[in-house]
């Protein structure tokens, strides 16, 4: 199969065995605990990672840590390659020294997980690549963070890092992170920005709605806020080659980007701070295609595809030509920055059948985007990931 026709999952998680064992040893959130199943009467493990989730947590099993389970899932859905990332909450809750040591160990573990896994027949490709972890916790030194970036860059199957929105305690617009952005840009590692904290739980009211509100709304709103703060801090002006991939199709950022641009223009404190209109920065970002609907994917690609139109005068040779693009060209341009993902092993089917609904829906969504031709869909399914992560090399 040509590299351009591969199915590549760029949003797929693992709790490496060392990390799962660590969660089992804990008595406070985040933790894995064992209870007697109310249905079967047998012992079962449960996962508790969100501060405000129901105390029964969620079911957890070997699909979270066993590589064979990941490969079985990939085979079941015809996924050729996965770029695997540790699931939230990463190392966020640990003291700085513990986080540093564990990050180094987990990065080596993930390299082994990928490098000793299977290869794709007839191609110079492994089936598993990974995103490493940085010890992004309060009190982390620049040395600790930068040396971990260098460690990850030296591990051939790790192509990026996954991070949450907290940074070293003050969010991602913190000056303390400047050396980290510089090191990541220099190393060419992709930053996968993924939510964990959601938004203030008071927003959810008092009705019991399980995990729906924090996952459907809190997660994407968190990504929206974190990315907007990154844009406002000028990080993308100072590090124009930094590659940031947003979880869940960037949350509400595409929908709110013109409003953001307008608010900036009307605020004397920030009006002259950025080199470009806020909408321009959507064209610097990458977006997973984990949105579950064709209309949403089409809309996100429109918002990305129009970005060049908002480059400030003289900033980009492509800008003037992009200004004349029609709707379809814009939509097709945006497809170049979007990538298939599954969020496995989260969102398993409630009753086990064949394929997972969450996966089928995301594949059907890509297939159904109006205005994307087969080449665009192939790019979103795998070609873009192949290029972004230099998978062939």
User: Which positions from 332 to 371 touch Zn ion by CB under 5 A, shown as an x/- string?
Assistant: -----------x----------------------------
Placement of tokens 């940074």 in the chain: 167
Cβ proximity to ligand URA, 9 vs 343, nearer residue: 343
Residue nearest ligand URA by beta-carbon distance: 346
Beta strands in the chain (DSSP E): 8-14, 31-36, 43-48, 58-59, 81-86, 128-133, 158-163, 190-193, 244-246, 286-288, 338-339
- The angle subtended at Cα 344 by Cα 140 and Cα 203, nearest 5°, is 65
Interface with ligand URA, residue 359, by CB under 6 A:
no
Interface with ligand URA, residue 74, by CB under 6 A:
no
Measured CA to CA, the distance from residue 163 to residue 208 in angstroms comes to 29
User: Of residues 2-61, which lie at the interface with ligand URA (CB under 6 A)?
Assistant: 13, 49
Cβ proximity to ligand URA, 103 vs 247, nearer residue: 247
Residue 88 partner contact from ligand URA, Zn ion, none using kind-dependent CB cut-offs of 5 to 8 Å: ligand URA
- The angle subtended at Cα 348 by Cα 347 and Cα 349, nearest 5°, is 115
Cβ proximity to Zn ion, 64 vs 372, nearer residue: 64
User: Of residues 95-154, which lie at the interface with Zn ion (CB under 5 A)?
Assistant: none
Residues touching ligand URA, count (CB under 6 A): 7
- Of 12, 63, 86, 88, the one binding ligand URA (CB under 6 A) is 88
Residue nearest Zn ion by beta-carbon distance: 343
Interface with ligand URA, residue 87, by CB under 6 A:
yes
CA distances from 202 to 48, 89, 196, 214, 225 (A): 20, 21, 17, 11, 17
Interface with ligand URA, residue 92, by CB under 6 A:
no
Name which of 194, 185, 119, 122 is nearest 157 in CA terms. Answer: 119
Other beta carbons less than 10 A from residue 17's beta carbon: 14
User: Which positions from 206 to 235 touch ligand URA by CB under 6 A, shown as an x/- string?
Assistant: ---------x--------------------
Cβ proximity to Zn ion, 65 vs 310, nearer residue: 65
Cβ proximity to Zn ion, 264 vs 388, nearer residue: 388
Give least dist CB 157 to Zn ion, A: 20
Contact call for residues 84 and 76 (beta carbons, < 8 A): no
Measured CA to CA, the distance from residue 229 to residue 222 in angstroms comes to 11
Other beta carbons less than 10 A from residue 169's beta carbon: 13
Binding footprint of Zn ion on the chain (CB under 5 A) = 343
Binding footprint of ligand URA on the chain (CB under 6 A) = 13, 49, 87-88, 215, 343, 346
């Amino acid at each position: 199969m040509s590299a351009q026709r591969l199915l590549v999952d760029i949003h797929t998680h693992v709790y490496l065995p060392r990390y799962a064992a660590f969660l089992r040893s804990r008595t406070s959130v985040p933790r894995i605990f064992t209870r007697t199943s109310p249905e079967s009467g047998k012992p079962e493990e449960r996962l508790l990672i969100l501060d405000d989730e129901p105390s029964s947590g969620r079911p957890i099993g070997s699909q979270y840590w066993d590589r064979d389970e990941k490969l079985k899932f990939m085979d079941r859905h015809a996924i050729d390659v996965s770029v695997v990332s540790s699931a939230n909450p990463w190392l966020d809750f640990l003291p700085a020294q513990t986080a540093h040591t564990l990050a180094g160990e987990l990065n080596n573990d993930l390299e082994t997980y990928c490098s000793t896994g299977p290869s794709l027949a007839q191609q110079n490709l492994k089936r598993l690549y990974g995103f490493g972890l940085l010890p992004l916790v309060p009190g982390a030194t620049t040395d600790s963070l930068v040396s971990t970036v260098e460690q990850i860059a030296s591990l051939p199957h790790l192509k990026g890092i996954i991070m949450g929105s907290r940074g070293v305690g003050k969010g991602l617009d913190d000056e303390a992170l400047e050396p980290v952005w510089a090191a990541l840009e220099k190393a060419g590692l992709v930053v996968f920005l993924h939510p964990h904290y959601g938004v203030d739980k008071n927003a959810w009211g008092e009705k019991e709605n399980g995990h729906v509100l924090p996952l459907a709304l809190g997660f994407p709103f968190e990504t929206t806020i974190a990315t907007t703060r990154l844009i406002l801090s000028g990080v993308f002006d100072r590090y124009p080659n930094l590659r940031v991939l947003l979880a869940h199709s960037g949350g509400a950022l595409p929908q709110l980007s013109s409003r953001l641009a307008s608010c900036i223009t009307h605020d004397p404190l920030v009006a002259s701070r950025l080199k470009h209109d806020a909408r321009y920065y959507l064209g610097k970002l990458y977006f997973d295609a984990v949105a579950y609907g064709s209309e949403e994917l089409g809309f996100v690609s429109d918002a990305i595809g129009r970005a060049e139109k908002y480059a400030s005068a003289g900033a980009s040779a492509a800008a003037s030509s992009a200004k004349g693009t029609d709707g379809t060209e814009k939509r097709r341009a945006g497809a170049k920055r979007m990538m298939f993902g599954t969020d496995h092993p989260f969102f398993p089917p409630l009753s086990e059948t064949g394929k997972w609904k969450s996966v089928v829906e995301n594949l059907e969504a890509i297939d159904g985007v109006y205005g994307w031709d087969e080449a665009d869909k192939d790019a979103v399914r795998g070609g873009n990931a192949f290029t972004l992560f230099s998978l062939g090399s």
